[in-house]
Structure 1
Amino acid sequence: MTHNSSTMSNFDDNPFADPFSEPSIQQATRNTTSGLEEYDPFSGKPPTQNVPTTQIGNAGNPPTYVQPTVGVTNQPAVVNPTPTPANPPAYTPSAQQQVTTAEFQRRQEELEKKAEELARKEEELKNAGAGAARQDNWPPLPSFCPVGPCFYQDINVDIPLEFQKIVRMLYYLWMFHVLMLMLNILGGLGMFIALADGATFGLAIVYFALFTPFSYVCWFRPIYKAFRSDSSFNFMVFFFVFSFQLIVSIINAIGIPSMGSW
């Protein structure tokens, strides 16, 4: 208490006095800096300080100083590759992959067949262009018939691939027209038996005998030739004749008496 009172008296006597001139402050400063003054940074030893340490509660051990290794550079980390097994397991394709493979093989076979067919058609076209005679095959009459075929018709050979479907549809339309003429004959026969109407029955036979060959020659053959050789004249003939036949078919569908339709 005497020392503290003397110290306070000194502060009270001279407020501008140096506070570090007190003996107690100089002793604490000397103990703190004594270790730093003796520290050599090139010796590799940690600095020694006479600083009192206080353990608080149940704190763990203080951290230890690890001296750095001088002259050793950092090496990159090396990752060892995963060893490959000597006998890897056999690969087994899934069911979906097997189905896909089968579908691919099937399509490949179809393409090969189409390629063979196209090669055959190309060979036939070359033979036809070279002047080889092609045998007529339409109409398909039996061999004992005194009248033979008059035209050569093969849509797969004569018509380009992109127009074959259209030509086939027109051919089916012509056959449907012939079927309607035959049914008209049967209807005329029924009217002749039931009503003794011989005019309708006779005209139905005439229509079948005339329109069947004329429709084939006058509008189907022109459209066949038009797609075969890209002929604008045959296209014009087809549209003109087919329009006329369409008008006649509409009149017959109405069923006007004494017009040969029922």
Structure 2
Amino acid sequence: MPDPTHSAESQTMTNTSGDVPAIEFRDVTKRFGDNVVLDGLNFSVPQGQRITLIGPSGSGKTTILRLLMTLEELSGGLILIDGDPYTHEYKGEKWVAVPEKRRRVVRNRVGMVFQQFNLFPNMTVLENIIESPVHVLGKSKAEAIADAERLLEKVGMSEKRDFNTNQLSGGQQQRVAIARALAMDPEILLLDEVTSALDPEIVADVLDVLREIAETTDITMLLVTHEMQFAREVSDRVLMFDKGQIVEEADPETMFTNPSHERTKEFLKAVLGG
């Protein structure tokens, strides 16, 4: 069961603004059988900040995003979104699971862009984008279409609105996936290695779209990426993960020019060279 004890001292990242964090992990554990992927993890993401998670494959970064999308269930601990219990809450003298209906309401504040796009291949670009706003948010079709057209222009895909997604290149599909996530009006946007499945020559186009979103919106962003230059440019803070724990956190300039932890130095030397 989740442990209700939690103090400011146990947080790895502190929200210095005094506001309720957009995301808060309290003593979060995730196991797959005997494999402990996250081990008593504590951290929070302040409202409107852009936080990047770096570290070797298997260190738990993507698991964090999957827990936030409820694609995985916690083994222990608590997750809160805007201070609202996302997984468990205290009732009487017991911690109980949050009802699924309330969980869905909280989950609708969170959008995610995956590595593999996850678009509906039997739908057009426009249909992919309006599907959830209409059926989940209850928007009218006209409103959803107007929003979709605005977002397609933002990601440079207006001319492809009536194409089926299987007619698009990987980079085009990823830009549509970004538009689809934004169409749900998320307060929090999760980005999971969104360029890892793309050809190198089109990575820059997708990163340009994300860079503009970071610069022109107040959406809280939690990113997992191996694009270190991009992380350095857009992040407010960078967290280095290893074996399910945060081993170091710093502002981007410090993290990439003067990291203090030996594991961080080893990792950055491996991915950046030199």
- Which interval holds the TM-score relative to the shorter structure? under 0.3
Structure with higher helix content: 1
What TM-score comes out, normalization by structure 1 length? 0.20
Greater relative contact order (Cα 8 A, min sep 6): structure 1 or 2?
A: 2
Structure with higher strand content: 2
